[in-house]
Amino acid sequence: GMSHAAGSLTFAEIVAQQPHNKGYSASPVFTEGEKVYAFHQNMLYEAKILKAEMRNKLSSTRLGDQEMHFFIHYQGWKPKWDEWVNDSRILKYTDQNREFQRQMREMKNGKKRSTRKIRELTPPPPPKKTRTIDQTTDDVIDAPESLELPFVLQRILADDYDCINNLKQIISMPVQTTVSEILSKFADEKLQKTKSNPINIQIMLDIGEYFDRCLGTLLLYRFERPQYQRVIANMKDKKCPEKFSLIYGPQHLLRLFQLLPNIVEEACLPADSRNLILFHVAEILEYMERNCGELFSHKAYTTVSNDYYKDL
């Protein structure tokens, strides 16, 4: 299945391994003054909770939809980095999480190349004016690299992993919104909203094609194989569309986006088209985050029948 995970440790995987992390509800309670590990731009840092209060959910459009937020200070950083986060960004201060932090740090130091991949998800910043000496010494730590997936979506991926590999459920078919529909809805919204930053339709088609090409080899957990075999059989019998992007939905698209920087890197594309793809992906992710209430639901998963196990 997802052998790519061997050499890297994502926040989603770390969250999936926290005690009692079955879905969103049973998250551990954090209190003011508590030391925690906070996830910031692909790295875990030590932090302290300065304040805790109920605030409106970041991802929700409904007023009164509230959740706990925590105002954290990163140890050893300037106060200007202090920020409000919800509990999907923080972990208990345990030996296990310290070990995760060490592993992430080692991976980062061992893979200086990969920071390049991550950076490409955001368009390069405008060239900086030359910095004066006092500016340089001002920051204890300069702004870390840009990040891969919005945290809400990291949490959804962790949950997706959990539903399939621990709870032994699969995503019911037909899905509510297919990959292809997500891409075209995003494109429509973008075309209506902006004239200034035109969307590249060819890239939307490329992303759909990447999805069709990668699904069978990179985007499935082993437990989903029997379902995949059935999809293939249905395709042969013309009982369903002939493209995976017309069958699978947002969870699998997120898995693609998690891997896309590496896929694009290995495709040896010229830098500008690589950046263009990743720039569009960052925008689609932002769209998926805004619409995550509609796109993702626990109802998407179903328990498999006994004969499903025979095909594993």
Could you state, in chain order, the average pLDDT of each consecutive group of 10 residues for the chain (312 residues)? 50 73 55 91 88 75 72 88 86 89 80 41 38 34 44 90 92 96 92 70 87 93 95 93 96 92 75 80 92 92 92 85
160 in the same domain as 37: no
Assessment of whether the complete model's pTM goes beyond 0.95: no
280 in the same domain as 200: yes
167 in the same domain as 124: no
166 in the same domain as 70: no
Residue 144 lies in a domain: no
183 in the same domain as 104: no
Residue 162 lies in a domain: yes
Q: Which two tokens stand for residue 64?
A: 């009164």
Residue 142 lies in a domain: no
pLDDT at 287: 94
How far, in Å, CA of 82 to CA of 8, rounded?
28
DSSP H/E element including 69: strand 66-74
Q: How many domains does the chain have?
A: 2
Q: Are 273 and 202 in contact (CB under 8 A)?
A: no
DSSP H/E element including 312: none
Give the angle subtended at the CA of 75 by the CAs of 107 and 150, to the nearest 5°.
55
Residue 297 lies in a domain: yes
176 in the same domain as 296: yes
How many residues comprise the chain?
312
Range of the domain at 38: 3-136
CATH code, 303:
1.10.274.30
CATH code, 87:
2.30.30.140
190 in the same domain as 296: yes
How far, in Å, CA of 73 to CA of 28, rounded?
19
pLDDT at 131: 35
pLDDT at 50: 94
pLDDT in tens, 133-152: 333 333 333 222 333 688 88
pLDDT in tens, 143-179: 223 336 888 898 899 999 989 998 999 999 999 999 9
Residue 164 lies in a domain: yes
255 in the same domain as 166: yes
